[in-house]
A and B are shown apart, each in its own frame.
Chain A
Amino acid sequence: MTLILLAGLFALAPPTGVRAYDTPDDGGGAIIIEWQISQDDQILDGYEIYRSDNGIDFEKVGFIGKGRTTIEDETNDGVKYLYKVAAISDTIRAYSEPSAEVMSYPQWINRNKINIFVAFFIFGGIILYFIYHARKGKELFIRKIAGLQAIDDAVGRATEMGKPILYVPGIGYIDYIATIASLNILGEVAKKCAEYETKLINPHIDPIVYTVAREVVKESYTKVGRPDAFDPDSVYFITDLQFAYAAAVDGIMVREKPATNFLVGWFRAESLILAETGASAGAIQIAGTDQVSQLPFFVTACDYTLIGEELYAASAYINRDPLLLGAIKGQDWGKLIIGAILLAASVIGIITKFPILNLFR
């Protein structure tokens, strides 16, 4: 009788409503377990989670502190599991009823990212629409970009001075969009160098980017009918270390004294080192990057700076291909739509209680 009374005094209320379900929008291998906290939650150490694949033998698979009501468990896909949650205080445990059987499996669509995918298709559609119109010969107006207009002058200046042009594509890998944009501009600059017979120096930090750049420059020389003028040693790999690369490029700027420096691509801390050395060497400098943190350094130390999207527009701007110009027009319309949505959302958010931000999450 005493034992029964003692057990009654020290008994804990178990957690209730244990529910287990496959983690949504994942690649499988996970189940989420939820429960309602024990009535004695305040005096608990926490909750232990038990799992069974036969409904009889339960093994402990996790522990979580008091006040918590959910945990994710790693599982094998295709196996049916049952879960129990135990409230624990010192050595006393109170087990819940087992959950219903549950099984984890991989999903084919991540619904959380559908909004971004839809936005991608909308903007992709707008861009393709303008490309289609450009194909039909519609004249498109593109505003002047000073940095790109200066390319001809910069190459001409180098030719007149008999000095080389240095093209630095940054320290990005080939899968960086800024690096690809830089290679596009490199192709156009190389064509002008070939036409003017100006020496081009193009040092690289990444061997894959080097390999691609070499082909781009070679093709550009061929395209303008000067394959003989292409110097294979003008495009070369230096090192894959950031500051060793910066030191090497600084050395080129000081020794070779290029008339024009192009610093176009993906840059990090070396941007200012390169831009300041180039400025002190007296070169005209045209820079461009999509790295917001590096833009102030380029704006300060370079004569012209391609800011963000201007870098991507450069190739189209230089060769005036109507199809590429169509894509730029599409980008501008995309920005207009984003601006309008932001404005409308701000107004709705300010004057109503509608949870507008949830639409974008």
Chain B
Amino acid sequence: MKRTFPLFLVLIFGIFALLPYIIPHPIIQNTDELLRNNLLKILSAFALVLGLGSLLKVHTDKIKRKRENWEYSWVLIMTFIITSIIGLFGGVSGTGILPTSIGSFPFDIQTIYFNVVVPLGSTMFAMLAFFMASAAYRAFRARSTEATLLLIAGFIVMLGVLPLGNRISPHLPSFAQWIMDVPNVAGQRGILFGVALGAVATSLKIILGIERSWLGGGGGK
């Protein structure tokens, strides 16, 4: 029963998930909307509680057992508690029952989000530029035939988009564009065909209960 019931649910909902794609009738569309938006939101809320519980448990354990870098877990737990209190009682933009400003210094959840979370995220994103440089260096070392081809293609494309490329030869920009439009797109489409068919096969295997690894059971056993 522990395995049969989830498989039965997957079969029913898996088949139902296909229907809204071809049936535009509101009975099907509205039910789909209800399942996707409302039911999934309720499930997410429960899962979020479990998720946050796991996060706190991992870090309280770390503090209890004084594992390496346990001090930082205090930072996480204190930050979690403070922002939770501000978010729960201070309202989204300081309109709750908790005062969320000292003089002209606001600390409501929206201010925290835009002044702490967003800049930190942007910082991580900005680091991509440096990672790209190091990845490019690694990729462009001509150690094999494929890497050499990559180096040449990359060099042509880079030259093609620069004014210098046009100075070297007026045909270079159009050749660079051809590399992007033809071999590059052909390769990408080849991968996408495989992905689409793989997605169909995986969906079928799961809907029909052939693939059960997601239950932890592995394969069709």
Contacts and interface: CB of A to CB of B under 8 A. Distances in A.
Contacts of B213: 183-185, 187-188, 216, 315, 319
A247 interface: yes
A228 B199 CA distance: 35
B135 A309 contact: no
Interface string A306-349: 01110111011001010110011011001100100000000000
B206 interface: yes
A139 interface: no
Contacts of B193: 335, 338
Given A108-B25, A109-B23, A243-B124, A312 B216 contact: no
B93 interface: no
Interface string B116-160: 010011111101100110111011000000000000000000000
Interface string B181-221: 00000001001111101111111111010110111111111
Contact of B131 (A114, A276, A292): A276
Contact of A233 (B57, B117, B214): B57
B201 A127 contact: yes
A28 interface: yes
A300 interface: yes
A110 B24 contact: yes
B170 interface: no
B214 A295 contact: no
A127 B200 contact: yes
Interface stretch (A53-61, A141-149, A204-212): A204-212
Interface stretch (B45-53, B95-103, B161-169, B171-179): B45-53
B181 to A, nearest CB: 15
Interface string B43-83: 11001101110110110010000001100000000000000
Contacts of B25: 27-28, 106-108
Given A127-B201, A335-B193, A223 B218 contact: yes
A210 B214 contact: no
B210 A272 contact: no
Contact of A208 (B43, B57, B122): B43
A255 interface: yes
B124 A319 contact: no
A106 B24 contact: yes
Given A117-B22, A315-B211, A331 B120 contact: no
B54 A236 contact: yes
- The contact size tier of chain B is 35 or more
Contacts of A300: 135-136, 138-139
Contact of A324 (B58, B214, B219): B219
A273 B51 contact: no
Contacts of A246: 124
B130 to A, nearest CB: 9
Contact of B216 (A210, A215, A237, A269): A215
Contacts of A212: 214
B21 interface: yes
A207 B23 contact: no
B29 interface: yes
Contacts of B139: 296, 299-300
Contacts of A40: none
Contacts of A185: 213
Nearest to B194: A309
A312 B202 contact: yes
A210 B24 contact: no
A28 B43 CA distance: 31
A219 B216 contact: yes
Nearest to A185: B213
A316 B51 contact: no
A312 B199 contact: yes
A151 interface: no
A236 B121 contact: no
A297 B204 CA distance: 30
A124 B204 contact: yes
Contacts of B22: 109-110, 113-114, 117
Contact of A272 (B135, B199, B219, B220): B135
Interface in A184-225: 184-185, 187-188, 191, 204, 207-208, 210-212, 214-220, 222-223
A123 interface: yes
Interface of B: 18, 21-26, 29, 43-44, 47-48, 50-52, 54-55, 57-58, 61, 68-69, 117, 120-125, 127-128, 131-132, 134-136, 138-139, 188, 191-195, 197-206, 208, 210-211, 213-221
Listed from nearest, the 9 A-B pairs whose CB atoms lie closest are A219-B216, A237-B51, A321-B219, A207-B51, A309-B194, A312-B198, A309-B198, A243-B124, A184-B213
30 contacts: A106-B26, A109-B23, A113-B21, A123-B197, A177-B202, A180-B206, A187-B216, A187-B217, A207-B44, A208-B43, A208-B44, A210-B50, A212-B214, A214-B54, A216-B216, A223-B217, A237-B52, A243-B122, A243-B124, A244-B124, A269-B125, A272-B132, A299-B139, A309-B198, A316-B219, A321-B218, A321-B219, A327-B201, A331-B197, A335-B194
Given A25-B24, A123-B200, A207-B48, 10 more contacts: A109-B22, A177-B199, A208-B44, A223-B217, A237-B54, A243-B123, A246-B124, A255-B68, A319-B213, A324-B220
